[in-house]
Amino acid sequence: MNDFQRKIIQWYNLNKRDLPWRQTLDPYRIWVSEIILQQTRVDQGLAYYERFIARFPDVRQLAEADEQEVLSVWKGLGYYSRARNMHHTARRIVQEYAGVFPGSYHQLLRLKGIGKYTAAAIASICSHEPVPVVDGNVVRVFSRIFGIEAMAGTTASFNKVWERSSALIDRDDPGTYNQAVMEFGALCCKPANPGCGQCIFRNDCFAFGNQMVDRLPVKKKEISRRERWFTYLYVRVGGGKVLMQQRPQGDIWQNLWELPLIEADHLLGPAEVSAHPVVNQGRERPEIIVVNPKDYRHILTHQIIHARFYEISGYQTGEAFEAFEAGDYRVMEDPLVTGLPVSRLTDRYLHWRAGNMQGL
């Protein structure tokens, strides 16, 4: 065991968090935890992991589920393509691997939604394959300790960290080694306010010795984001029902449900909304009874969504309902009651409305 291995594994054994996926070598459960934690902090992801495992305790039950049910259980985590990929992969494992989760790094890479990081985590923890994981935490630890100055997020950075960690990995227990490096990055070598004063590598750390802790790893340049403007309509159609539509394929939040949407190059005002065809069905003339006082700004990886919500009421007759159903809209029960999987912005508005507009 080299000095780096010894120090970081000793630190891990003393400081690691007690997490449910660390109590198992089941590759399915390790996979679920890794996918959830790709875009979610551990403290937030824990409840989602437990909920997902409670509903889909093994790969067969996930494979047999309907996609809408999977999306509903995933609700709140965002990045719904992760849930769709998991569902697709679960079905493939059942069909092609007789329900037995593949264990090798290269087999795992062939599965949809599993990249180098996730494959390395599963293979090292469950099959003891000595493949190093490289995620943001690992890149930060290695960049600071060993002075790797390649820009984070680039192929050059990945390759340098992967090569260095490959040389250091514990070949007898690669899973513990990988988890130790990731945990060290999460708890000690943090992006901001790292614990350098108590760091076990303080005397050996390149960044600390050269006063470069705040400059390593080298940050990737800001990506440009497309801006979009969504005007949503909360259309009440009697009997406590609302109008909903399903997101199209090939766009954000695909196949999730949302309130009727008007996308334009700006957020619409009341006059523009009242003139829109969805607000004028049949002979009824509904009214805009309230505008949510707060516009929303939702940031995705490659897009910024500006959103505004209007409340529409006044539909009572079957004529309007038939016109809605003939288009892209559906008259449905409140999604907060039915658990319908909805887009993030619709979910935020529905919860805001439930807490602020009782009786309307």
Q: At what angle do helices 116-127 and 174-187 cross, to 10 degrees?
A: 130
Q: Which amino acid is at 224?
A: S
Residue 213 burial (10 A CB sphere; 0-12, 13-18, 19+) = middle
Instruction: Report the alpha-carbon distance of residue 12 to residue 238 in Å, rounded.
Output: 58
Give me the half-sphere count of Cα atoms (radius 13 Å) on the Cβ side of residue 229.
6
The length of the chain in residues reads 360
The residue behind tokens 């029960």 is: 333
Task: Write down the catalytic residue from 34, 129, 258, 311.
Answer: 34
Catalytic: 284?
A: no
Angle at 76 between CA 72 and CA 78, to 5 degrees: 95
Instruction: Report the alpha-carbon distance of residue 93 to residue 95 in Å, rounded.
Output: 6
Angle at 121 between CA 119 and CA 126, to 5 degrees: 100
State whether residue 123 is helix, strand or coil.
Answer: helix
Question: Sign of the CA dihedral 118, 123, 124, 129?
Answer: negative
State whether residue 83 is helix, strand or coil.
Answer: helix
Instruction: Report the alpha-carbon distance of residue 154 to residue 86 in Å, rounded.
Output: 26
- E strands along the chain, which residues? 226-235, 242-246, 257-258, 261-264, 287-291, 296-299, 303-313, 329-332
Specify which residues 342 forms β-bridges with: 257
Specify which residues 11 forms β-bridges with: none
Catalytic residue set: 34
